[in-house]
A and B are shown apart, each in its own frame.
Chain A
Amino acid sequence: MTFRTIIRHFREGFKNVLRNGWMSFASVSSIVISLFILGVFLLLSLNINALAGQVESQVQIQVYLEPNTTVEQRDQLNTQIGNMPEVSKVQVVTKEEGMKLFRENLGDDGKELLSGYTEDTNPLPDTLVVDVVEPTTIPDVAKKIEALKQTTTDKVISKVKYGEGTVEKMFKVTNTIRNGGLIVVAGLAITSMFLISNTIKVTIFARRREISIMKLVGATNHFIRWPFFIEGAVIGLLGSGVTIGLLFAGYDRLVKLTQVELGLMLIKLVPLPEIYLSVGGVILGLGVMIGVWGSTVSIRKFLKV
């Protein structure tokens, strides 16, 4: 194929989009509609994921220490736990701080309840609060810390707690939500591919005569296929471009409008700059792929003349 022919294919491909104005419009519209719905679900599932992650990351391990633990023993344990690769942060909460937090949490009603405890009679133990990098490793990390209890000769750790049972259940729920979102998005992607390629098939069916004429004047299959290929890509680009524009403008506005209301519920929508590359990439890629795939697959059967 000569360079001149390649140029010709591009020119014809672009021209064809204009020549078949209404058909192109139909194809672009069906791409916009399908990809827009897909995009909405994509954004929804991204936000649910982010929310699930937020909830998960709030899970911590509490390591209660024995009452007679010395500061040296505490610091040694602190370093030991801190050195575990899964652990991101270890925070020491002394029994005085613990009591203070306890009082704050209980509020005015609790003040009276706890008033009997002085500094000397404080029943709370010193505590290490452990954060992990990946929330799902919490049960394993807790077990590892529990194992330290056996290796140290002096009894330092009294109890390791992380909301056993509840945390596992929560992970199950967040995982279900994640997988559900993925399935819905994948299902929509497949449906929209069929819907769009069907529209393109119809537009190409209307041009099967054109293809048969091209064959009769001695055009090779390659020669016929290329402009259709380019045309499909152009239509895919147009469709996904419009979709991205609509979707992002709408989402950006939604994020700004709901900032205060959702903020009160401690929910924060993922801001556009954090996701526009990935979401835009997915939609653009899908659009072009669908456009090209739809047109190439559809003309294949008309080429056998």
Chain B
Amino acid sequence: MIEMQDVWKTYADGTHALKGISVRIDRNDFVYIVGPSGAGKSTFMKLIYREEVPTKGQISVNGFNVGRLKQRKIPYVRRNIGVVFQDFRLLPNMTAYENIAFAMEAIEAPRKLIKRRVNEVLELVGLKSKANSLPAQLSGGEQQRISIARAIVNNPSVIVADEPTGNLDPETSWGIMNLLEEINFRGTTIIMATHNKDIVNTIRKRVIAIESGSIVRDQIRGDYGYDL
């Protein structure tokens, strides 16, 4: 469960990215974060996985006060949050398998478990045959599947996805959405920032709209709401 109370974020250059956000996202929710570019969506996501700290206010993720986390505790909180990016962020020198296994090696999981679990998630994302390919040898959709596999391999309670379909063609995007729905169905909370109107209007979920750093709309089964 994620809870924000009156969260403000002001960057060093004086930009007010978030201005007093309060929100509660329950376990097993599927939430779209929508809004114009520069409205504060990315900052909102970054605060959850503690890439940024709030200037004011409190954020709790699974009971951890992530705003006041000690440096050395950050890794342990992140292990319970899977992160997916628009640009995939795979390690270019590692194969698909190694990229996924890395997330498990980092938490010092036993070798046998790593082997079993990585094969399991490769199967789930449908890329078992590409296990030994390098990211450069994979298509955009395939790379995003691998990055999702990496995000879920440690069974996190939350997936934070910042425009996961932003670099993909429509057809591939639907495939990724099916995968995220499947993961959500298995009990993982999904928070996804997106600009994709079709997806939001077709796969109806909770929609939180952020404009100029404030939440302007929060609907249970919302729509995209913007023309663009």
User: In the complex, which residues 71-110 of chain B have their Cβ closer than 8 Å to any Cβ of chain A?
Assistant: 71-72, 74-79, 83, 89-93, 102-103, 105-108, 110
Q: Which residues of B contact A305 (CB under 8 A)?
A: 51
* Chain A residues near B110 (CB-CB < 8 A): 4
Residues of A with C-beta under 8 A to B91: 210, 213-214
B111 to A4, Cβ gap below 8 A?
yes
Q: Is the CB of A219 within 8 A of B89?
A: no
Q: Which residues of B contact A5 (CB under 8 A)?
A: 108
Residues of B within 8 A of A209 (CB): 89
Segment 194-222 of A: residues with Cβ below 8 Å from B: 209-210, 213-221
**A interface, by DSSP: helix, strand, loop or mixed?**
helix
Contacting residue for B106 out of A4, A19, A20, A217, CB 8 A: A217
Closest chain-B Cβ to A165's Cβ sits at a distance in Å of 67
Instruction: Write out, one digit per residue, whether chain B residues 31-58 have a CB within 8 A of any chain A CB (1) or not (0).
Output: 0000000000000000001010000000
Q: Please, what's the 1-or-0 string for A294-305, where 1 marks a CB less than 8 Å from any CB in chain B? A: 000000000011
Give the chain A neighbours of B93 by CB distance below 8 A. 16, 19-20, 210
B9 within 8 A of partner (CB)? no
User: Quick check: is A68 within 8 A (CB to CB) of the other chain?
Assistant: no
**Max chain B CB contacts within 10 Å: which of A19, A213, A220?**
A213
Q: A213-B91, A305-B51 in contact; A2/B83 too (CB < 8 A)?
A: no
Q: In the complex, what distance in Å separates the CA atom of A5 from the CA atom of B107?
A: 10
CA A16 to CA B94, docked complex, whole Å: 10
B145 lies within 8 A of chain A by Cβ: no
Q: Give the CA-CA distance A20 to B83 in the complex, in Å.
A: 26
In the assembled complex, B154 has its CB within 8 A of some CB on chain A: yes
Please judge, given known A-B contacts A20-B93, A213-B91, whether A218 and B78 are in contact too, CB under 8 Å: yes
Alpha-carbon gap, A257 to B189, bound state (A): 77
Contacts of A215 on B, CB cut-off 8 Å?
74-75, 78
Contacting residues, chain A, for B51 (C-beta < 8 A): 216, 305
Query: With A19-B93, A221-B72, A305-B51 in contact, do A216 and B78 touch (Cβ < 8 Å)?
Result: yes
Q: Write the chain B residue with the least CB distance to A216.
A: B83
A143 within 8 A of B: no
**A159 in contact (CB, < 8 A):** no
Residue numbers in B under 8 Å from A218 (CB-CB): 75-79, 103, 106-107, 154
* A14 sits at the interface (CB 8 A): no
Instruction: Identify the closest chain B residue to A305 (Cβ).
Output: B51
Looking at the assembled complex, report how far the CB atom of A22 sits from the nearest CB atom of chain B, in whole angstroms: 12
Provide the bound-state CA to CA distance between A209 and B90, in Å: 10
Q: Give every chain A residue within 8 A of B78 (Cβ-Cβ).
A: 215-218
B residues whose Cβ falls under 8 Å from a Cβ of A:
49, 51, 71-72, 74-79, 83, 89-93, 102-103, 105-108, 110-111, 150, 154
Known contacts A4-B108, A221-B75, then 7 further A-B pairs from the complex at CB < 8 Å, ordered by chain A residue: A16-B93, A214-B106, A218-B76, A218-B77, A218-B154, A220-B75, A305-B51
User: Which 5 A/B pairs are nearest by Cβ-Cβ distance?
Assistant: A218-B79, A219-B106, A218-B78, A217-B103, A19-B93
Give me 12 A-to-B residue pairs in the complex whose CB atoms sit less than 8 angstroms apart, sorted by A's number: A4-B108, A4-B111, A8-B105, A19-B93, A210-B92, A215-B75, A216-B49, A217-B150, A217-B154, A218-B103, A223-B106, A223-B108
